[in-house]
A and B are shown apart, each in its own frame.
Chain A
Amino acid sequence: MAAATKNWRKQRTTGEIIFDVLIVILMCAICFITIYPIWYVIVNSFNDGADAMRGGIFWWPRVFSLENYKTVFKDSSILTAFGVTVLRTLVGTVLNVFFTAMVAYGLSKTRLIGRNFYLTMGIITMMFNGGLIPTFLLYKNLNLLDNFLVFVIPAMFSFYNAIIFMSFFREIPASLEESAEIDGANDFLIFLRIILPLSKPVLATIALFSGVYHWNDYFSGVIYINKPSLQPIQTYLYRMVAEAGSNQMAAQTADVVKSTTSMSLKLATMVVTTLPIVCVYPFLQKYFVKGMMIGAVKG
């Protein structure tokens, strides 16, 4: 073993060693570029707001302060917005995963009468859609505007995710279902008791996709919601960012002290908004890598 390793090491030419070193340097640079903007936000969010306005905080807080976070967690409109986001993420993800899985299980059975018709109907939805305005008018007619359900119902199903589910379900050995059938269980019970527990990897993948969508979506809040109490946190942040942006455009900000706090408050809100999802994804990595593959191959 050691001899083999030695031998193999000898085979690396100088050119190859340079190649390897260059790749390592490049990858380190990519990691730095990826992490630094996030680090910058974190560092500045822990700095005193008025002091941060002077700039020059690149690596570490200059005047350390928790004031920004205290303000964020005291601000009732931010907390409400957080509540909306958490609620829509939980409800929306559970509904989406369960509903899509159920429909996809039915569609994965070749004995399903009308299957080709159903599948064609689904594929068309992936290639063509009504667009922004007809969708908006539909939601208006369904009384979904300024209604919490607008976040979860229209995001309840996705044919793309159904395809990922279907290709997973097809690989489950039929013998498992057959034995349950003999015991007299119907298709729904089989799905509930046998298929779902076996499908944890694909459930985790779709739950992650759906969860990320719900957590990060700001546009439905912009377009379908007027009530401040129903704004998700991303929409709230969008308004903060967009307003700050237009203030900047209006050149000189009149009230410097005020704008500093709003800037650091913005950064602290960003950190709090981003943190949960950043903490979750590394643990789901092995699942979503698989899910992405199926999606790409079959989609």
Chain B
Amino acid sequence: MVSAPAKAERKSAHPKLQGLWKQRYLQLMVIPGIIWMFIFNYIPMVGIVIGFKNFKITKSIWEAPWVGFEHFAAFFQDESFGNIMVNTLGIALLKLLICFPLPILFAILLNELRSVKFKRVVQTISYLPHFLSWVVLGGIMITWLSDVGMINEILVGAGILKEPITFLAEPKYFWGLAVISDLWKEMGWSAIIYLAAISGIDQSMYEAATVDGANKIQKIWNITLPAIRGTIAIMFILAVSGIMNSNFDQIFILKNVLNAPRSEVIDTYVYQMGMRVGRYSYATAIGLFKSVVSMILLVIANFTTSKLQGSSLF
């Protein structure tokens, strides 16, 4: 394929270049991915500069005048700032408190089932909601929770409520609904990792504990939980670093004008300001603020878990 003189010439070339030439096919497989990342990940990162400028859609980014931290200051002074932060953190912490431990409990209890067949059926069913889109789930919720919906039918019928409530129109129910629907959708799916970790535990430990007269709860507490500690720690780090990332797909569909006081989170606000109002620079600054806080949370969570427990992400 390559002519003899060309080969000789290449031998005299720089050894590094020669090495590169030798693995040219390998490089050609990787480089498209690097170019893709450059365009679709890194150019938007550079685009963050508009958060420090006054960008107008009619002109280019470079023509826009610099304004420093003006947009950040404006966000902190915005009358909705407090509300947005409370909602973002409130929903996230509630989810961390409820949607984080329950899949662990579910996995442990599922593992206690005696019938392998039944266990498998429950597992398969528990993954089902993960494959539903938030649009479909949101549609079901809007239908059920409306004033003529099924929930009101039951509650009013049973005499628990005197008047039907349009649940999604009342801000005070929003956090609860967000947590419950998230739990419903993802509990089974999140349990996969813990189930896998549990299945890796040495069975002889349980047998030894049985001989020593340990009961089920003791076995779960003293064998299962310590064995999956590392997995829990890593999932915890990931969960904490995601605190600022509200589940946008979920909130976006459940949010409406009436429940906005308790449903507006950073992500929906960025969408509202950027795409609806057209304040591109302002929205970008808010997005950057969110990313920076997320990064700090990730580092803190990683540091704390590695100190307490010896497992860390990096």
User: Interface residues, chain A, CB within 8 Å of chain B?
Assistant: 11, 13, 15-16, 19-20, 23-24, 26-27, 30-31, 33-35, 37-38, 40-41, 55-56, 58, 99-100, 102-103, 105-107, 109, 111-114, 118, 121-122, 124-125, 127-138, 153-154, 156-157, 159, 162, 186-188, 191, 212, 215-219, 223, 234, 237-238, 240-242, 244-246, 248-249, 263, 266-267, 270, 273-274, 277-278, 281-282, 285, 288-289, 292-293, 296-297, 299
Distance between A179 CB and nearest chain B CB, rounded to angstroms: 17
Q: Are B113 and A27 touching (Cβ within 8 A)?
A: yes
The verdict on A138 contacting B135 (CB below 8 Å), with A41-B140, A112-B23 known, is no
**Closest 8 A/B residue pairs (Cβ):** A130-B44, A134-B47, A103-B33, A131-B287, A216-B133, A106-B30, A106-B29, A187-B25
In the complex, are the beta carbons of A248 and B275 less than 8 A apart?
Answer: no
Q: Which residues of B have CB within 8 Å of A121?
A: 34, 37, 42
- The distance in angstroms between the C-alpha atoms of A11 and B209, with both chains bound, is 13
B132: A residues at CB distance < 8 A: 38, 216, 274, 278
Residues of B contacting A30 with CB < 8 Å? 106, 122, 126
Which residue, A34, A153, A156, has most C-beta atoms of chain B within 10 A? A34
Partner of B112, one of A20, A138, A188: A20
Point out the residue from A16, A105, A122, A223 that lies within 8 Å of B215, measured CB to CB: A16
Known contacts A34-B188, A134-B44: does B256 contact A23 (CB below 8 Å)?
no
A138 lies within 8 A of B29 (CB):
no
B133 touches A249 (CB 8 A): no
Task: Give min CB distance, A47 to chain B, whole Å.
Answer: 13
- Evaluate contact between B32 and A103: CB separation under 8 angstroms: yes
Main secondary structure of the interface of A (DSSP, over half): helix
- A295 nearest CB across to chain B (Å): 9
Q: How many B residues have CB within 8 A of the partner chain?
A: 99
Closest Cβ of chain B to A284, distance in Å, is 10
- B-side residues, CB < 8 A to A, are 16, 19-20, 23, 25-30, 32-34, 36-37, 39-48, 50, 61, 106, 109-110, 112-114, 118, 121-129, 131-140, 142-144, 146-150, 153, 166, 168-169, 184, 188, 192-193, 195-196, 210, 215-216, 231, 234-235, 238, 248-249, 252-253, 256-258, 267, 270-271, 274-275, 280, 283-284, 287-288, 290-291, 295, 298
A285-B127 contact given A20-B114, A55-B153, CB 8 Å threshold: yes
